[in-house]
Structure 1
Amino acid sequence: MDFFIQQLMTGLSIGSILLLVALGLAIIYGSMGVINMAHGEFVMLGAYGAWAMNAYFGLGLLASLAFVFVGVGAFGFAVERGVIRFLYRRPLDTILATWGIGVMLQQAVRLFAGGELRYVEMPSLLSGTVSVFGTIVPGYRVFIFLFVAALFLVTWLLMFRTSFGTRLRAVVQDRQTAMCFGVNADRVYSLTFAYGAGLAGLAGALVAPLKSVSPEMGGAYVVDAFFVVVLGGVQSLFGTVASAALLGQMSGSLAYLANDTIAKALVLLAIIVLIRFRPQGLFATKVRS
């Protein structure tokens, strides 16, 4: 039983981090259809934002989260207004443009913050361990799990219980008809992209105490995030949660039985097989026209 609980908590920990990174991508990709190759760099900006708030202003990680969300969200808003809005319905151009933005962000961070590894201190309040059903687990991992759960709830309420979410779903379903009813589609898209970018920044800030902060750190996360979003069903938030939990449990169990490299390869193989036979994802959303 102890082994089962330990593996369950490991899988939930991995899955919560995957969901944390993928949630912002699910908003941008699932709602707007934009393949944002710079999403990993938004994660990286959030990590560097947490480091800078501590290094230059003395703020701890928890106190800096609001500033990171607003800062990265504002940058995402500017990117959508300045670049992305001119490339809708041109997926190849969007991929190339966002990839170029990601490369420029990496070089800008190297120029202004240096290329050496940076470290973000874990909050002392969360640095200990807690007992979950008799099993000792790191307190910070539990905090991330609870924080991601709360963040998902806020996102779901925003999408399905507010007028903004209604406008967004109307624009996604039929942009021209929504605009005929007075919906400002351009503003809806800009705010949606900004919110997704802000979520990515939060992901980077919360992952920073667990990983070294570097200009290249976002690359590995964005690949896994795309796996989560595509496997769960592009427009399904609950599908994103389910696929993150599934991939987290698979990665944790396979890594224990073999090693991280083999686990990564087997998880990728499983995703390829699932997409081959169910290309719409595990939890595709049915939309009435």
Structure 2
Amino acid sequence: MRAAGKRFAGGRSHGDSRVDQFIEQIITGLSIGSILLLVAMGLSIIYGSMGIINLAHGEFVMLGAYTAWLLQSHFGLGLLASLVPIFIVVAAVGWIIERYVLSLLNNRPLDTILATWGVGIMLQQSVRLMVGSELRYVQMPPSLSDSTDVLGFSVSSYRVFLFFVAIALFAVTWLLMNRTTVGMKLRAIMQDRSVAASFGINAKRVYALTFAYGAGLAGLAGALVSPLKSVSPDMGTGYVVDAFMVVVLGGVQSLAGTVASAFFLGELSGAIAFLQNDTVAKAIVLLAIVVLIRFRPEGLFATRVRT
């Protein structure tokens, strides 16, 4: 992904041109990083808090995009007006899956991986059967379809909007996890489930709400990126790979690490793509993560928990 336009100026020196290119790549990296953060945040909560490797996360992203398309094409709702209903719909799907599938597989990580993989395939095929495999398109909000000036560069207003939405969702999620009763109960369960249960904390209920919230965030991510990419049943496959890279690099129990790694990978991908191309950028980024995890398996921002 490239930044939306460059600054037009005549007679600039070679040094000024390099500075312009550097600033442009920073903006490009922030744009890529905000999308990575939107997709990875829900996975970070589910993986870090519940220990579930959710291979259906990409399908939650896909469901959010299709829900945005459905509300826009059949009910006339614009994207911005659809965000709350989209979150509720995808969160409800996530709650049902956790309550009636994953909760039956406690302490069986391999079975959980297979179950989420199977759920993902079922969701993909269900969408194909109901609406077909044709590409769908979601209209960008008219108020955000123009460009805005950022440090003298013409940048898509919608990409700026995505950046601030990603930061706002992180702030809301951090407050939910660290300043609410549900977050306190979840942290207690993570540290010692049996002790938490002795204090009357219903682990199944907290896990169901956590999984639903993570799924809802994935649905929002899918809806928000749908104007930038055509909507298809398999659109989530690529996103889930990127999301796992972000979460593993940031540390599975560190929400702040997810933010840092998303923007770090965004800047790295943007810089390499500028010098080579998107395919080379993804390959080099994946190789760098593999090497880093080899020497630091807990990620860059591991959270220390008292035992």
Shorter-chain TM range is over 0.9
Give unpaired runs (5+ residues) of structure 2: 1-18
Map 1:210-225 → 2, pairs under 5 A: 210-225=228-243
Q: Which residue of 1 aligns with 2:207?
A: 189
Q: 2:47 aligns with which of 29, 33, 36?
A: 29
Q: Please report how far the alpha carbon of residue 89 of structure 1 lies from its aligned counterpart in structure 2 after TM superposition.
A: 1.2
Q: 1:127 aligns with which of 140, 145, 165?
A: 145
**Inter-partner Cα distance in structure 2 for 1:242 and 1:107:** 35
Counterpart of 2:197 in structure 1: which amino acid? M
Q: Deviations over 1:217-256 (max 9, x none)?
A: 0000000000000010000001000110110001000000
TM-score (norm 2): 0.93
Note if 1:180 corresponds to 2:180. Answer: no
Map 1:139-288 → 2, pairs under 5 A: 139-288=157-306
Q: Please report how far the alpha carbon of residue 88 of structure 1 lies from its aligned counterpart in structure 2 after TM superposition.
A: 2.0
Q: Report percent identity of matched pairs.
A: 69
Q: Deviations over 1:77-129 (max 9, x none)?
A: 00000100011211110111110110011111001111000000000000010
Larger Rg: 2
Give unpaired runs (5+ residues) of structure 1: none
Q: 2:116 aligns with which of 90, 98, 107?
A: 98
**Inter-partner Cα distance in structure 2 for 1:143 and 1:79:** 31
Q: Please report how far the alpha carbon of residue 136 of structure 1 lies from its aligned counterpart in structure 2 after TM superposition.
A: 1.0
Which SS does the other structure have where 1:130 is aligned?
Answer: strand
Q: Please report how far the alpha carbon of residue 2 of structure 1 lies from its aligned counterpart in structure 2 after TM superposition.
A: 2.0
Q: Please report how far the alpha carbon of residue 135 of structure 1 lies from its aligned counterpart in structure 2 after TM superposition.
A: 1.1
Which SS does the other structure have where 1:198 is aligned?
Answer: helix
Q: Deviations over 1:151-201 (max 9, x none)?
A: 000000000011111000000110000010111111000000000000000
Contact 1:116 1:214 in 2 (8 A): yes
Which SS does the other structure have where 1:136 is aligned?
Answer: strand
Which SS does the other structure have where 2:229 is aligned?
Answer: coil
Q: 1:78 aligns with which of 83, 96, 100?
A: 96
Counterpart of 1:136 in structure 2: which amino acid? S
Map 1:52-91 → 2, pairs under 5 A: 52-91=70-109
Contact 1:45 1:201 in 2 (8 A): yes
Which SS does the other structure have where 2:162 is aligned?
Answer: helix
**Inter-partner Cα distance in structure 1 for 2:31 and 2:105:** 37
Which SS does the other structure have where 1:216 is aligned?
Answer: coil
Contact 1:34 1:88 in 2 (8 A): no
Counterpart of 1:77 in structure 2: which amino acid? W
**Inter-partner Cα distance in structure 2 for 1:248 and 1:240:** 12
**Inter-partner Cα distance in structure 1 for 2:162 and 2:277:** 24
Which SS does the other structure have where 1:282 is aligned?
Answer: coil
Which SS does the other structure have where 2:155 is aligned?
Answer: strand
RMSD: 0.5
**Inter-partner Cα distance in structure 2 for 1:124 and 1:184:** 45
TM-score (norm 1): 0.99
Q: Please report how far the alpha carbon of residue 215 of structure 1 lies from its aligned counterpart in structure 2 after TM superposition.
A: 0.2
Counterpart of 2:54 in structure 1: which amino acid? N
Contact 1:159 1:165 in 2 (8 A): yes
**Inter-partner Cα distance in structure 2 for 1:188 and 1:196:** 12
Counterpart of 1:171 in structure 2: which amino acid? I
**Inter-partner Cα distance in structure 1 for 2:68 and 2:56:** 19
**Inter-partner Cα distance in structure 2 for 1:198 and 1:236:** 19
